[in-house]
Amino acid sequence: KTLPLITNFYSEVSTNKTLYEAYKNLRNTSLNEQQRHIVKESIESFKLSGVGLEGEQSDRFKAIKERLSLLSNQFSKNALKATNEWKKTLTEAELEGYGENELAKVKTKDGYEISLQVPVYMDVMTYAKNQTLREEVYKAYISRASEVGITSTEFDNKAIMDEILSLRQEMATILGFGNYADLSIEGKMVESTEQVIDFLNDLVDRSKTQAQQELDELQSFAGVELMPWDLMYYSEQLKEKKFGFKKSELTPYFPEKKVLSGLFSTIENLYGISLREIEEKTYHADVKVLEITNPDGLVGRIYLDVYAREDKRGGAWMADYQALVNENKPVAFVVCNLNSPTEGKPALFEFDEIVTLFHEFGHALHHVLTKVPYPSAAGIAGVPWDGVELPSQYMEFFCYEKEVVGLLSEHWQTGESLPDELYEKVIDSKNYQSAMQMLRQCEFSLWDLRTHMSSEDTYKVLEEVRSKTALIPIVGENRFLNTFGHIFSGGYAAGYFSYKWAEVLAADAYYYVQAQGGIGSDASRSFM
């Protein structure tokens, strides 16, 4: 009931001609640099919101925006329900390959139960020796919210996806753009869709030979014809052989309390601020409230919600709740789906999960540490969308610094920090199968852009993109687009390329800070 009202409110504001004229008149007044930027960007935003439309076109444009809001919300709900409806009870013998930590995650009173929650799914794909089980879970996961769903087709998102894409194209046409991708590019750092496609194709060309070599090595090691549900399992086995350690050897060194303490210390050293947990009633018992201060007083708050649970959509994200306005301090949410505590053990995080935490805190700090007192230009709202991943990916680099790992690690039983030998193995394995991963991300980005430039069925577009990027065919049940929230219920439509674009920027920023003295230097303090 409330979503249409909220959408309509913002639609009315963004198409208010009186307000639009007022902003245009402000251009001729005495403004500081921030104010001039805000006025310029606001005028462009008004135009892209349809302020210049009249009559039937204006009414239709508003109706499209309201409908898109409802569809995106339903897409997200369907994906969550489809994920939660699949479960399977197993014996310990059927989970051969699992270590003590993995078994503890799925232990129930009567045995073991696996689901499609991301941490559980990843464990099956990575550790389960039973190929038949891996195949079953893989197909259940990649067919969620589709007409070929393993359990039901009740939450099929395909019609919603088609309508979303059609409405986006209609919106672009009304505003005078050739396609939605061209509309999306407006206001971004990149200059054209052609520039983005060239950028992505260049990454594909530079990666494909190495990616094929990585796959050939994996194929030779496995000794069997690799299917999609085999990749993670044999990749982990090969990684163990090449680098001499198991991923499960790391997790005991990264209990939640120590990881968060180390994360907070790293942030404090980087930016000259302080973080502390405070007691406050929240929407869930698992949520932590963090207060951020500097020598001048309160800066803002971050609500931290890290564990996976059934009423939460998958993935990890930051959401801005309150901006810096007058005496109101910024507030952000950091939401993840990480490992939770098990009986007798604290939450033990995998190293990849720690990287995710650093990533999302980069977003949150971008919002909370803003000094711009205007919400429309503060934090994540103040940069082009293809630059919004810069602070998050910048933060990821610090996860691998030895000093930082020392702050993050403490064996949950012995209190020992991560041994130097294990640390060196983590660093050596950092770029393991990086070319295969690069191809996968380029595939997502190229599909996203091309599907918003074409009237073809979105899965047909995916086939065309995969003909240039894929090394292994996908199975017939693969409907992963049906749960691709970034594109259909997030803010990345025709903008998924932003991850790779910002990765380049983040690398430049990180190595500049390193050259200036690294953590604690004036350069690191001035980054945000």
Among the listed residues 473, 514, 513, the one whose alpha carbon sits nearest the alpha carbon of residue 229? 473
| Per-position b or e across 211-237, b if 16+ CB within 10 A of its CB | beebbeebbeebeeebebbbbbbbbbb
In this structure, which amino acid lies at residue 172? A
Centre a 10 Å sphere on the Cβ of residue 129 and count the other Cβ atoms it contains: 13
Contact at 8 Å (CB) between 459 and 511? Answer: no
Asked about 360 being catalytic, the answer comes back as yes
Residue 291: strand pairing partners? 276, 301
Reduced DSSP (H G I as helix, E B as strand, rest coil) percent helix, strand, coil of the chain, to 5: 60, 10, 30
Q: Which regions of 20-90 does DSSP assign to beta strands (E)?
A: 87-90
For every residue of 295-351, DSSP letters joined together read: TTEEEEEEEEEEE--TTS-SS-EEEEEE--BTTBPPEEEEEEEE---BTTB--B--H
In degrees and rounded to multiples of 5, residue 236 shows phi and psi of -70, -40
Among candidate residues 102, 214, 256, 360, the one labeled active-site is 360
For the chain, give the longest Cα–Cα distance: 75
Element containing residue 136 per DSSP (H, E): helix 131-142
The angle at the Cα of 415, spanning 289 to 96, to the nearest 5 degrees, equals 90
Identify whether the C-beta of residue 260 lies closer than 8 Å to the C-beta of residue 405: no
Q: Whole-angstrom Cα distance, residue 324 to residue 91?
A: 53
Q: Is 155 helix (H, G, I), strand (E, B) or coil?
A: coil
Residue 17 in contact with residue 51, Cβ under 8 Å? yes
Residues taking part in catalysis? 360
